[in-house]
Amino acid sequence: MFDAQFISLPNRLDQHAHSHWQLVLPQRGEVAFNVAHGAYDLVPSQALILASDEPHAFEGYAHNQLLLINVQSPQLQDGWAHYLEPLTELFEQTHRLCLRPSQYEWIQLTIREIERFMEPDSKLAVTPFYWMSILQSIALASSQQSQTASTWLTSLGAQEVSGVIDYIHDHIGDALRVDELAKLMLLSHTQFHKRFREATGFSPHQYILNVRLDRAKELIQSSSKPLSDIAFELGFSSQSALSNAVKRRWGVTPLGLKGSK
């Protein structure tokens, strides 16, 4: 019914498909999955829901770790069909989920308990209810994200939403201020912050930092530019600020990141 394991993905591209559902929960570092309709770079606080029979390629970066939960179809589980049937909609198609802080903390608390039970000297067993607790939390988070994103897109208009995202990407080297971004949407600072988080799963500051780090990773691995130049080009306050951000994101220094390509 449930097959779960903590693993690290190798720094090389591999691919396969499987008949079961799969939930991917990054615990450390960054991993990447590619499916027919898109590519997903995943970090902690995000989840990937993989539909059955979905061919996908995958690889890991630096010191990554993730939790994989494999779930058999409800039709194959006589005693658990009642519990698994509501998850059918969740796994209907592959998609990425951005967890809210409260959702992420709850799931991590459950995972820490599971890790304690999985220690070699533990006499306790991990029951299926722990895995169900995580899956139900993910299903609820997915439903809420779909509803809030739909509401935001409807109320503000897709063109306006894409406009502020485009502005961030086009001006990523500037000193981007949330107040200025809010003005682009004709919203107050508080309204913009709230709706941005509901729609993307990130605060404006977190989103901007992620974009800067993704660009920094590309430049570190593909160019010979000094780290100080990359930091200045992407709007970091200093070289050390960029180094610290890289360390928090991928668990390695910029030099280690350059060697992991």
Average pLDDT over residues 105-110: 88
In percent, how much of the chain has pLDDT > 90? 25
Q: What Cα–Cα distance (Å) separates residue 83 from each residue in 72, 80, 156?
A: 12, 5, 37
Range from 18-32, 134-148, 154-168 carrying the lowest mean pLDDT: 154-168
Whether residues 143 and 70 share a domain: the answer is yes
Kind and range of the H or E run holding 165? helix 158-170
Whether residues 28 and 136 share a domain: the answer is yes
Looking up tokens 């498909």, which residue turns up?
A: 17
Whether residues 161 and 138 share a domain: the answer is no
pLDDT at 9 over 90: yes
Whether residues 173 and 129 share a domain: the answer is no
What whole-number distance in Å separates Cα of residue 22 and Cα of residue 58? Answer: 13
Average pLDDT over residues 111-134: 78
Residue at a domain's end among 109, 128, 148:
148
pLDDT at 112 over 90: no
Amino acid 25: pLDDT: 95
In percent, how much of the chain has pLDDT > 70? 83
pLDDT at 119 over 80: no
Whether residues 87 and 24 share a domain: the answer is yes
Side chain identity at residue 155, one-letter code? S
pTM of the predicted protein model: 0.58
Could you list the residue range(s) of the whole structural domain that residue 113 is in?
2-148
Amino acid 22: pLDDT: 95
Whether residues 13 and 62 share a domain: the answer is yes
What whole-number distance in Å separates Cα of residue 97 and Cα of residue 211? Answer: 17
80 against 237, higher pLDDT: 237
Residue at a domain's end among 114, 148, 182:
148
Average pLDDT, the chain: 82
DSSP for 227-247?
HHHHHHHTT-S-HHHHHHHHH
> Under a CB-based contact definition with an 8 Å cutoff, are residues 44 and 61 in contact?
no
Kind and range of the H or E run holding 117? helix 101-117
Whether residues 239 and 121 share a domain: the answer is no
Amino acid 201: pLDDT: 67
Whether residues 226 and 172 share a domain: the answer is yes
Whether residues 56 and 95 share a domain: the answer is yes
Torsion, Cα 154 161 141 81, to 10 degrees, reads 60
Tens-digit pLDDT profile for residues 213-231 = 989 998 998 888 999 999 9
pLDDT at 67 over 90: yes
pLDDT bin (cut points 50, 70, 90) of residue 125 is low
DSSP for 141-152?
HHHHHHHHHHHH
How many domains is the chain partitioned into structurally?
2
Domain CATH code at residue 236: 1.10.10.60
Domain CATH code at residue 101: 2.60.120.280
